[in-house]
Structure 1
Amino acid sequence: MLDLPFAPPAAADPNAPTLAARLALRERPVGAPLLRQQWSELLFLHWPVPAALLQPHLPPRLQADTHEGMAWLGVVPFKMSKVSTRVTPPLPGSDEFLELNVRTYVHLDGVPGVWFFSLDATSPLAVWVARTFFHLPYLRATMRLESPGAQLRQFTARRTHAGKPAAHFRATWKIGAPLPPAEPGSLAFFLTERYCLYASNKAQTKLYRGRVAHAPWPLSSAQVLHYESSLVESHGLPTPAGAPVVHAGGPVSVELWPMQQV
């Protein structure tokens, strides 16, 4: 593996979200959500990364969100199911599929959220809808999720989206004991309790923010038995060094609101 360039933790960000602001986002937004889904079989893989390394890869107005001076890079495979809109019932072939995203955490005007470098998915319709109406970098891929044992999971993926860098992923993990709810201010809270997502147009001249609502993540410990991936590298980022911080998560029922330009 390539070591990430060494850098000391970043100085305190005066515009960083307060803990009160992070907790306030747990409140369900007013109005009807656009989409409803269930997320399950998640594996959260996170590595600490110098914020200065990630900042050039973000739109100009977004700032890397940090915990104790470090930004974090995540790779998250999971299963999405029970997908429906407020105007249509679940659509056969698109109401359940696998997804795999590469992410980091950002903030804008004190509002924290998730920035996705990519979201690979097995549903062509979901990819088209997300790219067209949510400005999110969804990409087509083939994936497989297997359960070779009661607590064992194996997830494989290969990107197939035309015109995009090839990438692959393979991980096997063992789900451990349930964990207590993430304590506000803790690293687990910072990495998993996210209720906003950001996106931009291709030229990065427009920025969008969407709200998400769900119960706090039910987390479990997990042990990664095998991991190989070129997803991070497909975005021009160095291979994360060292063992990741690992959590297993889900299931949670999720509501999503339309993206709004900010």
Structure 2
Amino acid sequence: MTVKQILKTTEHRPWELSQGNWKFYQEWNNAVFLHWRVEPEELKKFVPDELEIDLHNGEAWVSLVAFTMEKIRYRYLPSFPPISDFDEINIRTYVRYRDKPGVYFLSIEGGTKISCEVAKRLSELPYRYSTMNRDKGIYTSLNQNYNDHLNIKYTIGSPVRDRTPLDHWLIERYALFQDTERTINTFDIHHVAWPVYDIQLHHAEVNYPRFNGLIRSNKPDKIHYSTGVQVIAWDKETYLQGSKEH
């Protein structure tokens, strides 16, 4: 799809598109979603006080999303594959800020060192480098500094025709909130609705010691697969103790 077509496809969104010009284009491709129910009180230990834990039917969730980032670029510039294309794994949870639902990253890893450095400087997101390997039906990652390890083997199934309200709640998120030492940064994004497929996990090792109180099992409570989406992102907005800065 062209960017114009993407921007005109808005019926699935929970609020209107951001005003002003978008800044970044990127693609999130071949995404594996692993979801776990978690205890809200345990989750609060990892989330800034300014962010409210978002609940679905009274339940809190954490998700690991393993995908391939491609073609990330500024609006008026071409992408540069040595930097713009890399594998990424993030562990996220679901929050609200100023009455807007979105996601908050507990962890974010990239498979290319220079891509992690560039992404961290441009976005202030807490990217870190991990050794990653991706092949058909296989995704592995290792970070020796944190002793983090992921190893999954899977088979992709048929398209999901009838998504449940929980499916929609877990995957259709159009804002990201991230904290720095002084601020909460917010990012609005847009894409068409994720195309979702069934997925069968044949093997799963999910070892993130910092989050043992959240991810207590190698068997997720829910899983999804998507071929991916083309993503439009606006520049971040920064909030300091309730005051808006630009």
Common fold by TM > 0.5:
yes
Distance 1:240 1:112 in 2: 25
Residue 211 of structure 1 corresponds to 188
Residue 135 of structure 1 corresponds to 124
Out of 20, 36, 40, the position equivalent to 1:31 is 20
What is the number of residues matched between the two proteins?
227
Assess if the C-alpha contact under 8 Å between 1:181 and 1:217 holds in 2.
no
Residue 86 of structure 2 corresponds to 97
The amino acid that maps onto 2:213 is: L
Out of 43, 62, 65, the position equivalent to 1:73 is 62
Distance 2:65 2:71 in 1: 19
Distance 1:29 1:96 in 2: 26
Following TM superposition, the consecutive aligned residue runs of length 4 or more in structure 1 with deviations greater than 4 angstroms are: none
Residues 245-256 of structure 1: pairs in structure 2 closer than 5 A: 245-256=222-233
Give the C-alpha shift of residue 236 in structure 1.
Answer: 5.7
Give the C-alpha shift of residue 141 in structure 1.
Answer: 1.2
SS of the residue corresponding to residue 216 of structure 1 reads coil
Distance 2:19 2:229 in 1: 20
User: What is the RMSD of the two structures over their aligned residues, measured on CA atoms?
Assistant: 1.8
Give the C-alpha shift of residue 244 in structure 1.
Answer: 2.5
**1:190 equivalenced with 2:169 (yes/no):** yes
Give the C-alpha shift of residue 133 in structure 1.
Answer: 2.9
Distance 1:258 1:56 in 2: 28
**1:51 equivalenced with 2:20 (yes/no):** no
Distance 1:206 1:48 in 2: 28
Give the C-alpha shift of residue 89 in structure 1.
Answer: 1.3
Mean alpha-carbon deviation: is it higher for 89-98 or for 190-199? 89-98
Structure having the larger proportion of residues in strand: 2
Assess if the C-alpha contact under 8 Å between 1:166 and 1:234 holds in 2.
no
Cα deviation digits, residues 40-75 of structure 1 (max 9, x gap): 111110011121110121111101111011110111
User: How does the TM-score come out when normalised to structure 1?
Assistant: 0.81
The amino acid that maps onto 2:122 is: F
Assess if the C-alpha contact under 8 Å between 2:188 and 2:233 holds in 1.
yes
**1:41 equivalenced with 2:30 (yes/no):** yes
- In structure 1, runs of 5+ residues without a counterpart are 1-21, 148-152
**1:155 equivalenced with 2:139 (yes/no):** yes
Residue 117 of structure 1 corresponds to 106
The amino acid that maps onto 1:254 is: V
Residue 200 of structure 1 corresponds to 179
Residue 257 of structure 1 corresponds to 234
Assess if the C-alpha contact under 8 Å between 1:181 and 1:219 holds in 2.
no
Cα deviation digits, residues 15-42 of structure 1 (max 9, x gap): xxxxxxx9433x4323322211111111
Assess if the C-alpha contact under 8 Å between 2:189 and 2:233 holds in 1.
yes
Distance 2:236 2:228 in 1: 24
Residue 160 of structure 2 corresponds to 179
* Percent identity of paired positions between Structure 1 and Structure 2: 28
Distance 1:200 1:69 in 2: 25
Give the C-alpha shift of residue 182 in structure 1.
Answer: 3.6
Distance 2:220 2:84 in 1: 34
The amino acid that maps onto 2:140 is: T
Distance 2:197 2:238 in 1: 35
Distance 2:169 2:177 in 1: 16
- In structure 2, runs of 5+ residues without a counterpart are 1-11, 240-246
